[in-house]
Every structure is written in C-alpha cells, then in structure tokens.
A and B are shown apart, each in its own frame.
Chain A
C-alpha cells in the first residue's frame, strides 16, 4: 500500500494545471451553442493529452491510459477547481460503451464509441417492461428477423431520458421457442423512426425523466445486435454490472456528503451551527464512516481492476451500499431542514441544481429512486446472498425458469 503523492504525481499535477490554464476557460463563453462547441473542443484536447476517456482505447476515440487511481484523482481535483468539463455523463458513456468494449463487434465499437463519449449521440436503456422488472428475463418485446432487418414490437417502461435519446440499447425476445433466458437478444435501435412512440411519465419528484416507449413495427439492421442471437441475457449482465457501479459509485455519495456538511454549517440550531450540536455531530460522524468506507472501497476495486484482479464480493455490494448511505445522508438533511420540507423543490435535478435547501427534498426522493432503478435493494440482497455468500436460490425464482441452466445468474 502506498498512497503518497510521489514526485511523479506532483509533476503530473503541475502538467494538468498547465494544460488547464492554457485551455480552460475559453476567453469568451458566448451563448449556449458556443458553450457546447467550446466544451467539445476542450474535451478533444483533454483526450489528446490523456486526461479524459482514459479507459477507452485510442482507436475508438479514447486516450487509453493505464489505470492509475492517483492520477485519476488529481485530474478530478484539478478539473473541478478549474470548473472544466469532465467526461460526458449519461447512460451511453457509462453503460453502453463498456458493454460494447466487452461484448460488441468491431464495427460497432468503431461506429458508436467515439460519438457516444463525445456526447454527439445519446442513448437510453430499454430493459424494463410492464411485466419484466425484477424478473427482467421475462421481457416480451418481440423482435423478428425479416430479411436483413429486425422488426420489433412491444413496450418498454421506466426508460430514462428516452425522449432525448437518439438510440436505445434494448432487450428483445428473438427466440420464443427457447427457454426464458436463452431467448433474449441485445439490440441497438434508432429512436428517431416511425413506430417509436415515447410518452413521458411524471416521477414522484415532479421530474419527467423516465418514459414509456411503444415499439410498433420498428426496424433495425440485422447486424445491430450485440453478441449472438439468444445471448442477450449475458450481454445485459455486463451492462447491469456497470449500472450498479454507476449508481453505487462513490462520486454521488461524496457530492451529497459534501453538501450535507455545508448544510450543517449554514443551518442554525439553538443559536449555533447545527455542525456544533453534539447530536448532529455524532450522526455526521457515523455517516462519514460509511462515506469514507465507500470511497476507499472504490479505490481498492480500481486498484484490483488495474492489476486485472477481481475485487470479489464487495463488488456486488456497491449499489446497495451507495443506496443505504444516500438514505442516511438525506435523512439527516431532512432533519436539519425543517420548514423547507413543506415545499416543492425549485429544481428537480438533484445533482446539478443549485445548493439551496429545497434541493434536499428532491434528493430525498432521488435516493428512493436509486433503491429501485438498476435492480431493487431486495434483488441486490439476493445477489449478495446467493452469488456472494453462496446461499441457495429462492425456490420461486428457480421455478420461473422454464429450463434450468447451470449458471447462477439473473438480473438480478
């Protein structure tokens, strides 16, 4: 174990700072369109310099850097200080790209990875259906190969950002004769075509981020399939693994923690800062234990991954661990808030909205969504118990597989 920033890393920090002072911010920020273009141009330079898209091979538009947690931390810190744009966020870069890199055909990587990480195209995730939530393998959306095209009919639900997306990565039933899990394929679909009908749903927090997507004779080329026919289930597990890491990642926890501390500093309680109240201090200290544990657990997993080793059971715990810590944070925040708990949040985006008190009401609800999206906490507990601790599967879930297979996996 060696966590010191050695001379090399200090030199690296200076390099990053020099790069940033040369390239960010641009002299004149202009209007929205200008800003987008400036950010794009900056990202290209940052990739060129090796500071962004570090896990992505150069031939697909990344900077292909060896995993180095300290360098990554330095980049994060320095970029944040300079308010410089980081890697593009979203379901495409965080879920589809790693899935394609792991399971995609060469032409798919060539075609989709770079525009996705540059934010030129947006994706949505078409997994859940009205009757396929926790039991994801029950997807009924049907895709038939007709000539050189798939023709797709069915309905997806809870599809985040579907109304904005250019494409959807999607699970469809292609082999109705095969057993439940062996009949699914992983298809890529162009959302901007006739037959795709997106209806936005209003969420509990007033935001309309998720949608119903109706697919009526929608078409996609025969080779827009990731993996082979009938292998969609295995491919989808690669995506889910990344989704859980995304939801359970330490970044959001650290942001929330930081804002909780600021809330405790600016809130007055009995004539002093809430932060000085022994009851609040104790709860904060308990929470910080979980927060730091999660942070270092992330470092530990990254270090293992860099060496090509598996991190083991802890990996399956990331999501629920993040959910639980998030809940502790928002619960304390709600106690500190008081009256603002009676008001609607001004803005619904819990991360980017300004750090005003009512944003905590939105966060209080957002953390609840996180306990459901990407596999509910119950499903997470089953994964940990069964795959992690080696306990047997539930009988009910087993019986729902038409044909048992030796593998122990599910969307679970």
Chain B
C-alpha cells in the first residue's frame, strides 16, 4: 500500500505554489478582492500557461489527461493562496462536457477550455438551497434547445464564455455566452475572490449534453471534492499564519507563542485540519478508482473539511486579536473563502445526511 502523492503530484503542487507566490501574493489577492469585477486576465493566462486550465481534460482535446486528485491538489494550493479567479467553475464545466458531451461537442469546446482561451462555468443553483441535480427545476423547451429561466450563484458568470446549465430531470445543457440571451446580475458575494451572479436565461439557445443525466451527479461530486480541497488549503494556511504571528507578536515582554493557552489552541487548530488531508485525497481517488464509494466520500469530505475550515478560520482571527478582525489584514480572505466552500453546493449538514444515506445507514 502507498497512500501518498507521487513525485509528479508533489511537483505539480510546488509549481502552482511557486506561481501563486510570485504572481499573486496576498497583497495582490487583496487588491483583486477589492476590485470591481474581481477578474485578472493576466493571472488566468499565467495559470493556463502552466496547463492548469485542462488538467483533467483528455489529451486528445488538448488537456493533460490527469485525474480528479491532481485537479484537487491544485485546488488545495489555490485555496491556500486565496487565489482569485474562475478556476473552480471552469474545471467543473470542462468535466461536465468531458463526461456528458458528444464527440462533436467535446471537439467544439474542450480544446478552448483546456488552453484557457475560453472560460467555463456552471449554473446549478436555483435558490433555497436547491443545488443538486435531483432538485433542478429549470425546464428547457424545443427539445432541450432553448432555455428560459433563472439560476443563481453562478461563479464568475460575467467572464465566462461557456455556461453548463443544470436542467429539470438532472440533465445539462451548454449555453454559449455570446448568444445575447443571458441577463447577468452580479450578486454581492461575500468571498470576492470567487464572485457569483444571478443569471436569467431569456430563450437562450442551448446544446443538450447527451449523457448529461448520467454525468451531472459526478460533476456535483467532483465539485464537492474541489470545495473540500480548497477548504483544506485555506484552513491549513490559517494555521500557518497564526503560528507565524504567534512567533512574531510580543505581549507581556515575550512572543505570545510562549503562552501555553495559545500554543494549545494552535495545536488544536492543526489537529482539526491536518488529519483531514487524507480524507479529501481519498475522496478524489475514489472518484476515478472506487466508483462505489465516490459519492459518499465526496459528500463526507465536503461536509467535514468545510466545517473544520470555518471553525479554524474563526480561531485564527481570535489568535490574531484586533488585527485579525480587519479587512486590511490577510485572514479575512480565508474566513470568507471558508464561508464560500461551506455554503456552495449545499450545506455540510445536507451532505452529512447524504453521506449517511449513501452508507446505507
């Protein structure tokens, strides 16, 4: 048995980490956070030049042909860097087309998605916590080729070229952004590294994915794993930032890391997070290799890790005192990132209930 990353995977993470540290250090992430539209085309270009736009897209369509675990490992590093931009929605859109599209559709969209010259996103949510394929109610007319209706919490809808829309019955259709039959209204996103919008489809021409019904649950599961990975990265960075701060900040004539109460709190934060790293690895691995456990562990990883991340982000603010409570410090990016990971695609409570059911309890 070898439950560990291979050398290539470690390289992949360190390449992305290096890229994020040089191209988007936290001060830059904060600028984008505060900017009006929150998208930096240069940064996206740079990410795609590393091949990260199509990690899991088949090589035949210009991707790297890797697995969900590789994608999630990248997601973790982006979470750790509070990296702004469309990565999450883009990856899911590509996955949806890869899993559910016809040969012709794949040829039409995947190469551009893989190179990053087109940005993808997913339109799943319908409000009132309706995220899941089983819950979708949006109807397509004219044999599924026209969409009229409303979706919300669509990631970076304003910059996306290709939107994968979830439909009643659990199917998915692709809408090309330049069809002009989309009305996009930015929402006041809490996590401004990943903006969301409401989208009104006004008779948009749609391209149904023939295997959409079979693929949509898989896309959701992949999304859950990516959220868990992002939460892992964000939470671990909160631990690191708190430890760094405790080694630097002085009160009572010594660094606060000398106080056992604080030391134990930092250790508890680490205990909450670090052991869960393997949980998202396994969930990602199961997606490609253990079909029976895939859905269940995706749900479990999302519920567990995003809950842990939320608490750890909170603890990190406390460990920083007043400076942690500001918008001008770095922590608030992670705090809000954790809020996103927790709420997007359904609450931890919802997915715990699913995990129990999927376990046959």
Contacts and interface: CB of A to CB of B under 8 A. Distances in A.
Interface of A: 128, 131, 133-135, 138, 157-158, 201-204, 206, 210, 268, 334-335, 337-339, 341-344, 346, 361, 365, 368-369, 371-372, 376-378, 381-382, 394, 396-397, 399-400
Given A133-B251, A204-B332, A376 B321 contact: yes
Interface string B227-271: 000000000000000000000001111101011011001000000
B282 interface: no
Contact of B322 (A157, A335, A339, A342): A157
Contacts of A361: 190, 339
Given A202-B328, A381-B261, A394-B259, A339 B318 contact: no
B247 to A, nearest CB: 15
Nearest to B342: A341
Contacts of B261: 378, 381-382
B259 A204 contact: no
A135 B251 contact: yes
Contact of A338 (B314, B326, B343): B343
B287 interface: no
A339 B310 CA distance: 15
A381 B256 CA distance: 16
B30 to A, nearest CB: 11
A49 to B, nearest CB: 41
B321 A372 contact: yes
Q: Looking at A157, A369, A372, A400, which has the most chain B CB atoms within 10 Å of its CB? A: A372
Given A206-B327, A339-B128, A397 B190 contact: no
A136 to B, nearest CB: 9
A377 B318 contact: yes
Given A133-B321, A378-B261, A339 B252 contact: no
Contacts of B344: 342
14 contacts: A201-B327, A206-B327, A334-B310, A338-B346, A338-B347, A341-B190, A341-B342, A342-B190, A343-B188, A372-B322, A378-B259, A381-B261, A394-B259, A400-B253
A369 B322 CA distance: 8
A368 B190 contact: no
A381 B129 CA distance: 39
Given A133-B322, A202-B326, A341 B343 contact: yes
Given A368-B314, A377-B318, A378-B259, A342 B332 contact: no
A396 B318 contact: no
Nearest to A381: B261
Contacts of B340: 342
A298 to B, nearest CB: 25
A385 B145 CA distance: 69
B347 A342 contact: no
Given A338-B347, A342-B196, A343-B190, A400 B254 contact: yes
Interface of B: 125, 127-129, 152-153, 187-191, 196, 250-254, 256, 258-259, 261-262, 265, 310, 314, 317-318, 321-322, 324-328, 331-332, 335, 339-340, 342-344, 346-349
Contacts of B335: 204, 365
Contacts of B191: 342
Contacts, number: 113
B322 A368 contact: no
Given A204-B327, A376-B321, A400-B253, A339 B125 contact: yes
B128 to A, nearest CB: 7
Nearest to B322: A158
Contacts of B343: 337-339, 341-342
B251 A138 contact: yes
A368 B254 contact: no
Given A339-B343, A342-B340, A361-B190, A134 B321 contact: yes
A128 B251 CA distance: 12
Contacts of B187: 342-343
Given A202-B327, A343-B190, A335 B339 contact: no
B342 A396 contact: no
A346 B187 CA distance: 11
Sorted nearest first, the 5 A-B pairs with minimum C-beta distance are A400-B253, A202-B327, A341-B343, A400-B252, A135-B251
Contact of B325 (A203, A346, A396): A203
Contacts of B256: 134
A315 to B, nearest CB: 21
B325 to A, nearest CB: 5
A128 B153 contact: no
A156 to B, nearest CB: 11
A372 B339 contact: no
Given A338-B343, A399-B253, A368 B318 contact: yes
B317 A368 contact: yes
A408 B332 CA distance: 36
Contacts of A128: 322
Nearest to B339: A341
A354 to B, nearest CB: 16
B186 to A, nearest CB: 11
A372 B251 contact: no
A203 to B, nearest CB: 6
Contacts of A368: 314, 317-318, 325
Given A204-B326, A204-B335, A337-B343, 15 more contacts: A134-B251, A134-B321, A203-B326, A204-B317, A339-B128, A342-B191, A343-B190, A368-B325, A372-B318, A372-B324, A372-B325, A396-B258, A397-B252, A400-B252, A400-B254
